[in-house]
Amino acid sequence: MANKMINSNKIMKIILVCYAVVIAVAIVFSFIFGLRLDINFSGGARITYSYTGTIKEADFTKTVKSAMDKDFTVSANESLAGDTKTYTISLSGKNALSAEIQENITTALNEKFADNKIELYDSNSVSASVAGGFFVKSLVAVILTALLVVIYVGIRFKNIGGISAALTALCALVLDLAITFCTCIIFRLQIDSNYMAVVLTILGYSLNDTIVVYDRVRENKKYFPQLTMNENMNTSISGVLSRNIITTVTTVLAVITIIVVAEIFGLTTLRTFGVPMAFGLLSGCLTSLFVAGPLWVCWKERKSKKTAK
């Protein structure tokens, strides 16, 4: 059994350093480039135009810029059947989209791309108060999920630590969410409703992997009581390592397929789902194996030393 053990505590320290570097880079990027928020979070307006033929995104953006002097972003989309191609113009809450500006944009696009049958496909706006309400609801959903995680893990694993196991699992989840957020900042992706779907998915996925580790710890404690907590954790991680890696790689490959197909068909809105999801899944695998468990061991050992004193 000793030959199978790995030094999870040492690996945890390396991983935490790497996470700190990624977070630091994301902070620098946020100061340099800012944070891109969808109008659902910041308020603002969104207008979508359909077209035929081929229009380069750079040419479309340049034409829109010539029609108004406000900050905006452009995203391309296309139906899987290829019969509808659109460009969406998004403006943040501080930039209102009046009827006059919308008319100027439409006129400029029709003049520039006269052969592409530019048509107004959709137009909507979100007030700052509505956007704030959506943000609060999203935050409440995440917090409630985190609380349920603590309660569930605390009850299920009360014979190996309960609340301590739950809180260290929660620490791992926080790191996973931090990585998905940093991914959006570094890759200049918009924080939108897709991101909230990613957050809730990663919470469930990472927690499942952590529970697999804790289950093995509980079994080894029963069948090998002579093992110390650290030896038990190292042995348990070694036992589920291949299972967790294979599951994660399979899932990440499926997400990468989504990203590739989205790029081929011009479904750029799926970037905000696929890219952070891929990095979140990888993070979930690492933290469930080498953060939640080893951190729990450190907690228990430190508590034992205090009790002994």
pLDDT of 162 above 80: no
Q: Do 143 and 15 sit in the same domain of this protein?
A: yes
Q: Do 94 and 109 sit in the same domain of this protein?
A: yes
Q: Do 259 and 302 sit in the same domain of this protein?
A: yes
Confidence at 17, pLDDT banded by 50, 70, 90: very high
Rounded average pLDDT over 5-15:
90
End-of-domain residue from the set 81, 108, 126:
126
pLDDT recorded at residue 190: 85
Q: Is residue 218 domain-resident?
A: yes
Confidence at 308, pLDDT banded by 50, 70, 90: confident
Long-range own/partner contacts, residues 101-104 (CB < 8 A, 24 or more apart): 101/67, 101/68, 101/70, 102/47, 104/67, 104/68
Kindly report, residue by residue over 197-222, the tens digit of the pLDDT.
899 899 889 999 999 999 999 999 98
Cα–Cα distance between 269 and 167 in angstroms, integer?
Answer: 35
pLDDT of 89 above 60: yes
Cα–Cα distance between 12 and 261 in angstroms, integer?
Answer: 35
Kindly report, residue by residue over 19-56, the tens digit of the pLDDT.
999 999 999 999 998 888 887 777 788 899 999 988 98
Closest CA to 172 of 152, 202, 200: 202
End-of-domain residue from the set 82, 105, 126:
126
Confidence at 81, pLDDT banded by 50, 70, 90: low
Rounded average pLDDT over 188-200:
88
pLDDT recorded at residue 246: 94
What CATH number did the domain enclosing 109 receive? 3.30.70.3220
Q: Is residue 38 domain-resident?
A: no
Evaluate if pTM is beyond 0.75: yes
What CATH number did the domain enclosing 182 receive? 1.20.1640.10
Confidence at 158, pLDDT banded by 50, 70, 90: confident
Q: What are phi and psi of 124, to 5 degrees?
A: -155, 160
The residue that leads in pLDDT, 2 or 278, is: 278
The residue that leads in pLDDT, 159 or 12, is: 12
Confidence at 192, pLDDT banded by 50, 70, 90: confident
Q: Do 150 and 295 sit in the same domain of this protein?
A: yes
- Lowest average pLDDT, out of 79-83, 88-92, 193-197, goes to 79-83
- The domain of 289 spans 2-33+130-308
pLDDT recorded at residue 128: 65
Q: Do 141 and 218 sit in the same domain of this protein?
A: yes
pLDDT recorded at residue 32: 92
Confidence at 84, pLDDT banded by 50, 70, 90: confident
Distance of CA 10 to the CA centre of its chain: 26
End-of-domain residue from the set 70, 102, 126:
126
Q: Percent of the chain beyond pLDDT 90? A: 47
pLDDT of 292 above 80: yes
Rounded average pLDDT over 144-171:
84
Rounded average pLDDT over 219-243:
92
The residue that leads in pLDDT, 132 or 143, is: 143
Q: Do 189 and 294 sit in the same domain of this protein?
A: yes
The pLDDT mean for the chain works out to 87
Q: Do 102 and 144 sit in the same domain of this protein?
A: no
pLDDT recorded at residue 2: 41
